[in-house]
Structure 1
Amino acid sequence: MNWLLVIAGAMVGAPLRYLTDRTVQSRHDSLFPWGTFTVNVVGCLVLGLLTGAVAAKAASSDVQLLLGTGLCGALSTYSTFSYETLRLTQDGARLYAAANIAVSVVAGLGAAFTGTALAQAVWG
């Protein structure tokens, strides 16, 4: 039955990723992939918060499957990040490609650590 939790979370995460990406990107006239950046950082924050909640016994492993594996797995997207970075490089926008790599990694890790710290403050 664990797989049903993952599917349920993914059924929300995938359309949420698509809609968020399109909404955010439509508001920026830039080569930088702001939509993918947004969903990835939000996914890292939610996963960090969830990981902290599970560690503090404030959330169950079922919630982790639903929200962590399902929702966050479908919401965030390493493959699109990689593709967009490659596309930027191929289009000659190497500065944007390098910025996408650096900013995405730093912001993603920062969001995950922030989520974990918030969980520790609330439930620790």
Structure 2
Amino acid sequence: MTWVGLIGLSLFGGLGASARFVQDTFVKARVTSGLPWGTLSINVVGSFLLGLITGLAMFAGDASQWSVVLASGFCAGYTTFSTAMFDAATLARAGRWRAAAVDVIGTLVLSVGAAALGIWVAAL
């Protein structure tokens, strides 16, 4: 990777983290359910984007440094599986085991499905 790519990686990582903050704040202000919908929506959307970027690189036969920058920079800065697991642990610690299980299983199933959908869309 070139220096320009490394700078792009850093900038896109920051943009991804900023987008995550904005989306999480937006969702939390509008949804008062006991589940962490902001984090869940971030991970599902980010997984779709990663699948789409990866699929486009795969089917174009060109995994350029910019697809790596977008995937490893923006998507990695945007998604937050560590926060998702922390949210689930917080729910479990509060005795909300069912909500914790729904959060973990829902995040996994929906995120994998979104990534697969992104790859499928890229193949069209």
Q: Does 1:5 align with 2:18?
A: no
Aligned partner of 2:71 in structure 1 is 68
* Structure 1 residue 59, shift from structure 2 partner: 5.9
Q: Which of 65, 72, 83 is the equivalent residue of 2:86?
A: 83
Distance in 2 of aligned mates of 1:59 and 1:44: 20
Name the % identity. Answer: 31
Structure 2: tracts of 5 or more residues without a match: none
Distance (Å, rounded) in 2 between the aligned partners of 1:79 and 1:28: 21
Q: Unaligned 5+ residue runs, structure 1?
A: none
| 1:109 corresponds to 2:109 | no
After the TM superposition, which segments of 4 or more aligned residues of structure 1 sit over 4 Å from their partners? none
Q: Which residue of 2 aligns with 1:31?
A: 34
Residue matched to 2:98? 95
* TM-score, structure 1 normalization: 0.92
Aligned length: 121
Over the aligned positions, Cα root-mean-square deviation in angstroms equals 1.3
Scaled by the length of structure 2, the TM-score of the pair is 0.92
